Chain A
């Protein structure tokens, strides 16, 4: 059971918009710690995608956006493409656990 809760799977058609939620608590997201999102394509290492503070590596399209509210965060992907099919993980820091923590991951399927 992960400290950060993500839906196991989401899906959408090409061109559509999907969101992936990441629910935490007052000791992590709610405490103001940044939330980072990673994309893991099949058989590859995770890749940093975007942070809720707006940090985004060059090369990541602005179809990907991140937001945070209270004890939750979200990753939104617009203009879905088949290349977006991957597992997505959120990550933050927990002050009670004194540890970096990950969500359980969400598998995105582009129908």
Chain B
């Protein structure tokens, strides 16, 4: 199973960050799989952003919930992240990952850098 993030590397403040995670080499419809986003600001630690289940149920980090939407396109084996009203603090390396029901993230993408700057 492989995951690959894609999307713009530069976003202006107050605009919307949009990323895609493409899944290949395995099932995207297993009922035991969840698809999540994690970010890592430069030189800092990991932060869970949110998750979508195979059925489209979403779970968000409360600290980001008001600005985040995660969705999926099952036929295309893709899931998506949108973060609205971005600020400089949203500058980070964004990872997509698969996890199970206890948030064990066992397959990660290589990450994509997003910089928020005018």
Among the listed stretches A12-20, A63-71, A98-106, which one makes contact with chain B, having 4 or more residues with CB under 8 Å of it?
Answer: A98-106
Q: Which of A33, A45, A105 contacts B109 (CB under 8 A)?
A: A45
Contact bitstring A5-48, B, C-beta under 8 A = 1, else 0: 00000000000000000000000000001101010000011111
Contact A103 B62 (CB under 8 A): no
Number of contacts between A and B (CB, 8 Å)?
A: 58
Q: How large is the interface on B (under 10, 10 to 19, 20 to 34, 35 or more residues)?
A: 20 to 34
Q: Which of B62, B106, B109, B111 contacts A97 (CB under 8 A)?
A: B62
Contact B102 A93 (CB under 8 A): yes
Complex Cα gap A63–B47 (Å): 27
**Given the complex, which residues of B lie within 8 Å of A93, measured CB to CB?**
102-103
Contact A99 B48 (CB under 8 A): yes
Q: Which of B59, B103, B110 contacts A91 (CB under 8 A)?
A: B103
Closest A residue to B102 using CB positions: A34
Contact surface of B with A, Cβ cutoff 8 Å: 36, 38, 45-48, 51, 59, 61-63, 95, 102-106, 108-111
Contact surface of A with B, Cβ cutoff 8 Å: 2, 33-34, 36, 38, 44-48, 51, 55, 57, 89, 91-93, 97-105
Q: Sort A-B residue pairs by CB-CB distance and give the 10 closest, nearest first.
A: A100-B48, A45-B108, A100-B103, A102-B46, A105-B45, A104-B45, A48-B106, A99-B61, A34-B102, A36-B104
